[in-house]
Amino acid sequence: MQEGRVLSTREVNRDLLRSILDTPRWFWPVVTVLGLILLIAAIAVGIMVNRGLGVTGLNRPVAWGFFITNFVFWIGISHAGVMLSAILRLAKAEWRRPATRAAEVLTLFSLMTAMVMPIVHTGRPWRILYWVFPYDFARGIWPNIRTPLVWDPSAILTYLTSSTLFVAIALIPDFAVLRDHTTGIAHRVYSVLAMGWEGNARQWKLQIVAGVLLSALILPVFVSVHSIVSWDFGMAVAVKSWHSTVFAPYFVVGAVHSGVSAVAFALILLRWCYGWQDYIRHEHIDALGRLLIVVATGWFYFLVMEILFGMYGREADELMVRQTQFTYWPYNFWFILFVITTYFIPVALWLSRAWRRNLWIMSIACISVNVGMWLERFLIIVPGLINKQLFTFVWADYRPSIFEYIIIGSTFALVTMLMLLFSRVFPLVPLYDVKEGDVLKTQVQIGRRTVPATFRED
């Protein structure tokens, strides 16, 4: 699978540095609109902090709502970076090259956004400090430092640090290109960031070994993060529907499903915004579509098992949660919509090669997956909490308020804005990786056919 023409180094530099060296006309207006959305969200958070969580739809027993749903959703999106970058790098999949950086950067920004959610959710964000740092017993507050909730920040911070370093190391050669193509303050900044990189054989060898070694090290962290997010639920004694034994792999595969879909959509947007048709080609989106069929089907298996195991135990509390999901309005509607948008619509579209290569249809499929995956997290969290208590008279429904809608909506603006700002100063497609792909590209004669091939070094 090798489409597109071989590009000269000069063309690669010109095209992929376009987002940095020339500001497109649409850039600042779009950033301004996104900034305004964030400003509105900041006002909403301000009001919420001032008046308390009463302005949200959270109640007793539904103490986790949109914010925690959104937290899990963004953690899920963050799994795309490592999935594409590390697994495909280790598997030596050639088509990964233009997609890796955008995927890794999406990981960083979605993780950062995810981390904001529990802080907003506390309603009194400054009190996080009491929880994070050990404090005096004299306050009369005894933190449960053995709580599984401590695992979450440790895993997410490890993943965020690792992903940041993963991106930073791979950026060094590209900083050198930017250093050589800029003047003035930008030149000085990129010179510092390039750390004197000159591209000798030793530096390249270390760069390649680093890619493989860091990929191998970061993969276990990647698996651990969403497993641990699933244990946020699994370790909660009171909520009966959160104890499924398949929760960890179910969450990890679901995260990959939503994350890779998000990356595919982001790549389509980048191609459109920056005119990168020669780099983000139909073959790449096609390959992502094929990968997603496998991931989606794996995820669907875990979904069915999760429901089946839950029902098979015939525990009254668990059955009540399932009854809420399947029969009570509006959860039954959300459930049907969730299954259709996460699996049946996108997979039906991905089964056709022509549709996988149609960027509009791929965009619809990828957005559909993420609508569904957001609903999945909502349907895990809220129906479980509604029926959390033993007595029906303490059951309560959850109706999110306008504040929650605004804050949740703004997280999409935040990630988009961060990605755009990143693309303004750093290349979102790795230059050296693309150039390496062109160097290794060749053609071989087999019988009467000339077929594309790639030289590989083990």
Among 41, 120, 155, 321, binds another protein (CB under 8 A): 155
Its sign, for the CA torsion 286, 87, 117, 411, is negative
User: Is residue 32 involved in binding another protein (CB under 8 A)?
Assistant: no
Among 2, 122, 224, 323, binds another protein (CB under 8 A): 224
Residue closer to another protein (CB basis): 127 or 205: 205
Q: How many CA atoms lie within 13 A of 325 on its CB side?
A: 26
**Contact letters for another protein, residues 176-195 (x by CB under 8 A):** xx--xx-------------x
**Contact letters for another protein, residues 240-279 (x by CB under 8 A):** ----------------------------------------
User: Is residue 5 involved in binding another protein (CB under 8 A)?
Assistant: no
Stretch that binds another protein, among 34-42, 103-111, 213-221, 290-298 (CB under 8 A): 213-221
Q: How far does Cα 224 stand from its chain's mean position?
A: 15
Buried b / exposed e across 363-389, counting CB within 10 Å, b at 16+? bbbbebbbbbbbbbbbbbbbbbbbbbe
User: Is residue 9 involved in binding another protein (CB under 8 A)?
Assistant: yes
Among 30, 169, 340, 396, binds another protein (CB under 8 A): 169
Among 91, 145, 316, 354, binds another protein (CB under 8 A): 145
User: Is residue 439 involved in binding another protein (CB under 8 A)?
Assistant: yes
Q: Are 66 and 400 in contact (CB under 8 A)?
A: yes
CB of 350 to another protein, least distance (A): 33
User: Is residue 8 involved in binding another protein (CB under 8 A)?
Assistant: yes
Residue closer to another protein (CB basis): 201 or 316: 201
User: Is residue 141 involved in binding another protein (CB under 8 A)?
Assistant: no
User: Is residue 115 involved in binding another protein (CB under 8 A)?
Assistant: no
CB of 248 to another protein, least distance (A): 12
Among 307, 389, 436, 453, binds another protein (CB under 8 A): 436
User: Is residue 4 involved in binding another protein (CB under 8 A)?
Assistant: no
Burial of 273 (0-12, 13-18, 19+ CB in 10 A): middle
Distance between CA atoms of residues 254 and 277, nearest Å: 30
Residue closer to another protein (CB basis): 383 or 437: 437
User: Is residue 452 involved in binding another protein (CB under 8 A)?
Assistant: no
Tokens, residue 100? 């890796």
Report which of 225, 37, 220 is spatially closest to residue 114, judged by C-alpha positions: 225
Stretch that binds another protein, among 35-43, 106-114, 220-228, 443-451 (CB under 8 A): 220-228
User: Is residue 208 involved in binding another protein (CB under 8 A)?
Assistant: yes
Stretch that binds another protein, among 124-132, 215-223, 269-277, 298-306 (CB under 8 A): 215-223
* Helix (H), strand (E) at residue 443: strand 441-446
Among 47, 209, 294, 394, binds another protein (CB under 8 A): 209
Among 58, 218, 256, 428, binds another protein (CB under 8 A): 218
Distance between CA atoms of residues 280 and 275, nearest Å: 9
User: Is residue 129 involved in binding another protein (CB under 8 A)?
Assistant: no
Tokens, residue 90? 């280790």
Torsion of CA 167, 193, 412, 14, to 10 degrees: -90
Tokens, residue 447? 């019988």
* Helix (H), strand (E) at residue 88: helix 88-90
Angle (CA) 366 400 263, round 5°: 15
Among 143, 313, 330, 452, binds another protein (CB under 8 A): 143
Among 63, 186, 210, 340, binds another protein (CB under 8 A): 210
Bridge partners, residue 446, by sequence: 449
User: Is residue 317 involved in binding another protein (CB under 8 A)?
Assistant: no
Among 10, 25, 448, 449, binds another protein (CB under 8 A): 10
Distance between CA atoms of residues 69 and 182, nearest Å: 43
Bridge partners, residue 441, by sequence: 454
User: Is residue 440 involved in binding another protein (CB under 8 A)?
Assistant: yes
Residue closer to another protein (CB basis): 248 or 295: 248
Q: Are 224 and 88 in contact (CB under 8 A)?
A: no
How far, CA to CA in Å, does 410 sit from each of 32, 33, 414? 13, 11, 6
Buried b / exposed e across 418-451, counting CB within 10 Å, b at 16+? bbbebbeebbbbbbbbbbebbeeeeeeeeeeeee
* Helix (H), strand (E) at residue 222: helix 201-234
Q: How many chain residues interact with another protein (CB under 8 A)?
A: 62
Interface residues toward another protein, by CB under 8 A: 8-10, 13, 134, 142-148, 150-151, 154-155, 157-158, 161-162, 165, 168-169, 172-173, 176-177, 180-181, 195-210, 213-214, 217-218, 220-221, 224, 228, 431-432, 435-436, 438-440, 455, 457
